[in-house]
Amino acid sequence: MAPVEKLTPSPSSVPKETDYNDSVESPYMIEVADETTSRFTRFKDSFRRKVVDESQKHEVGRQMSKAISLRHLILMALVTGIGTGLLVGTGSVLHKSGPLFLIIGFAIVGSFLYPTLQAAGEMAVNYSDLSGGYNNYPRRFIDESVAFAITWNYCIQWLSVISIELVTAAITISYWNTTVNADVWVTIFYVVIVSINFIGASGYGEAEFFIGSCKIMMIIGFIIMGIVVNVGGGPNHEFIGGRYWRDPGYYTNFKGLCSVFVTGSFAFGQTEFVALSASEQSNPRRAIPVATKLVAYRIVIVMLGSLTIVGLLVPYTSDRLMGSSGGGSHASPFVLAAALHGVKAVPSIINAVILMSVTSVASSALYSSSRTLQSLSEQGFAPSWLNYIDRTGRPLRALFVCAFFGLFSFIAAYKKQETVFNWLLAISGLSQIFTWGGICISHVRFRAALKYNNISTDSLGYVANTGVYGSYYAIIWYCLVLIAQFWIALYPKGEGKPNVTTFFQNYLGVIVLLFFYVCHKLWTRNWSLYVPLKDIDINLDRTLFDEELLAIEKEEEREKWRKAPFYKKIVQVLFL
């Protein structure tokens, strides 16, 4: 039998066992598991609290599993979150805006998402062991009450998305089968996503890699198919070109353009996961810059490329678009792009990928909400009982709680499910804007704190290539989006007078944010609006890099660049 190696601190440094009720051993022992222990015993023991040494007691980020690799992160940057927002939700906004404004709206969202991801990447690399990632930044750089409001909104958003995506998966199945109760399909997909997340970060990463690969192949295949059909190579051998841009037209009105922004933000949602998962990456300094750079390809090719094809092949007045007022069955614009032009097999293939995509987003939502809930607990914004990392690096208790909330998806067979989910979306619909805005404001404050403490950006492990001005640009757009959303919420497209129900369904997220903010202010009696620069501890939890070593590495990289052949330079510019 292999011996169990233990490194035990001196008796004076070991806390009382009563401090931790989860184990009869000291929580600060480092163990090497007995190889002859049965699988069941190892599985059972994996749910116990992770044992760490004294130095890591308050550094939960270092206790998380380091199982997400670069290849996982690359696929996450390209396709994580591509589900209902892009593949289904764009039908409604295409109907409201027209194809040109749909593309322009998504391009605008992409233009302020990219600097947001660069800002998140900079702080994620330099605070790589901070659990909760960007959910922890507002507390440190802005204000506790702002952090409390934004993070709880973000958590509620993804708890809602778990149910929304699972019900969407059940609805997608109805394309092939309408006789089986929807809750049967919800049960199957619920078990799948819970199993993926209980395997841990490695299971989540591998599942996202596999499904992400399918998404990429589908999007590329869809673009190729769309080009062929558009130029007359489809089953009908009919040249389409810009026919639908001439009749019925290529845009509606300015309100239509404004309606794109929130749906576009939802469709781009979860792109920021590359920063959230920093504490579960083995080498975030290498992985995160590559992943954030690839976001540009997601914006241009995956989003704008596919939506251009949709706009060319589907008239925005089609009564089969989801969100249109026409009768009959409604379908995804991606499915319609093939079905309307006689392509037989492709609609089922696209629907199958949509099914995998929404299941993937539900899994990502469970992953995100559990990490966010654990981060809330660590920050003192949720019960401390939830701040529990097990021996395999999972935030176990937070995961159980979030999985429980996922059971709400069993209203799939409820007759008024659409009404319920409209209000679920109303609560969390703007959370993505709040989270991204919080990242950019935190980045601006982070740079200000560096300057105040005379710390050069040369000492940072990674510096955002859009700089602090990129964050200012994004913040301006977030304010404009909130103003535009207020306008179309108060005066919906096609209605001449205010509609109370529509207003709350489109703008309730702001009211919920303000409610959390005010309640936290009243509870803490802290009336300051922001943390003064002199009170920001810039080095707390920061990953410190040797400035001289960084300078040497940069010089080596420049030398490699000078000596590299032309094709390697192209690869490096495009991808690394």
Side chain identity at residue 58, one-letter code: H
User: Does residue 284 share a domain with residue 252?
Assistant: yes
d(CA 354, CA 333): 11
| Region 276-287 average pLDDT | 66
Residue 2 in domain: no
DSSP symbol at 49: B
- Cis status, amide bond into 3, omega within 30 of 0: no
State yes or no: pLDDT of 309 exceeds 90.
Answer: yes
Residue 424 in domain: yes
- Residue 571: pLDDT band (50, 70, 90) is confident
User: Does residue 451 share a domain with residue 553?
Assistant: no
Minimum mean pLDDT range among 138-142, 155-159, 285-289, 297-301: 285-289
- Residue 191: pLDDT band (50, 70, 90) is very high
Would you state the structure tokens that stand for residue 419, as one six-digit string? 């009404």
d(CA 567, CA 562): 13
Residue 470 in domain: yes
Element (H, E) at 6: strand 6-7
For residue 500, the SS3 value is helix
Output the pLDDT for position 127: 87
User: Does residue 468 share a domain with residue 565?
Assistant: no
- Residue 9: pLDDT band (50, 70, 90) is very low
User: Does residue 557 share a domain with residue 504?
Assistant: no
Whether the CB-CB separation of 381 and 517 falls below 8 Å is answered with no
pTM, rounded to two decimals: 0.82
User: Does residue 427 share a domain with residue 293?
Assistant: yes
Residue 298: which of 333, 331, 322, 274 has the closest Cα? 274
Minimum mean pLDDT range among 191-195, 320-324, 529-533: 320-324
User: Does residue 419 share a domain with residue 567?
Assistant: no
Residue that has been written with the tokens 């205010």 in this structure: 498
User: Does residue 551 share a domain with residue 445?
Assistant: no
User: Does residue 274 share a domain with residue 394?
Assistant: yes
Distant-in-sequence, close-in-space partners of 110: CB < 8 Å, separation ≥ 6: 268, 299, 300, 303, 304
Residue 47 in domain: no
Minimum mean pLDDT range among 127-141, 349-363, 515-529: 127-141
Q: How far apart are the first and last CA of the chain?
A: 47
Q: Which residue blocks in 231-345 are alpha helix, DSSP H?
A: 243-246, 254-258, 260-267, 273-276, 284-297, 306-313, 333-339
d(CA 182, CA 498): 36
Residue 565 in domain: yes
Range of the domain at 323: 65-525
| Region 90-117 average pLDDT | 92
Residue 52 in domain: no
Residue 10 in domain: no
Share of the chain above pLDDT 70, in %: 80
How many domains are contained in the chain? 2
Residue 359 in domain: yes
Side chain identity at residue 546, one-letter code: D
Beta-bridge partners for 281: 68
Whether the CB-CB separation of 226 and 337 falls below 8 Å is answered with yes
Q: Which of 67-71, 253-257, 414-418 has the highest mean pLDDT?
A: 253-257
Q: Which of 323-327, 385-389, 473-477, 485-489 has the highest mean pLDDT?
A: 473-477
Output the pLDDT for position 101: 94
Digit-coded pLDDT (tens) for 483-499? 999 998 888 877 767 87
d(CA 253, CA 388): 51
State yes or no: pLDDT of 178 exceeds 90.
Answer: no
d(CA 175, CA 161): 21
User: Does residue 552 share a domain with residue 472?
Assistant: no
User: Does residue 565 share a domain with residue 426?
Assistant: no
Whether the CB-CB separation of 124 and 275 falls below 8 Å is answered with yes
More confident residue, 104 or 172: 104
User: Does residue 570 share a domain with residue 450?
Assistant: no
More confident residue, 182 or 455: 455
Residue 128: which of 272, 292, 276 has the closest Cα? 276
| Region 105-120 average pLDDT | 92
Q: Which of 385-399, 443-457, 495-509 has the highest mean pLDDT?
A: 443-457
Output the pLDDT for position 83: 74
Considering the chain, what is the average pLDDT of its residues?
A: 80
Domain holding 384: CATH number? 1.20.1740.10
Would you state the structure tokens that stand for residue 121, as one six-digit string? 């990447």
User: Does residue 164 share a domain with residue 282?
Assistant: yes
State yes or no: pLDDT of 33 exceeds 50.
Answer: no
Output the pLDDT for position 266: 82
Work out whether the CA dihedral 344, 239, 297, 98 comes out positive or negative. negative
Whether the CB-CB separation of 351 and 332 falls below 8 Å is answered with yes
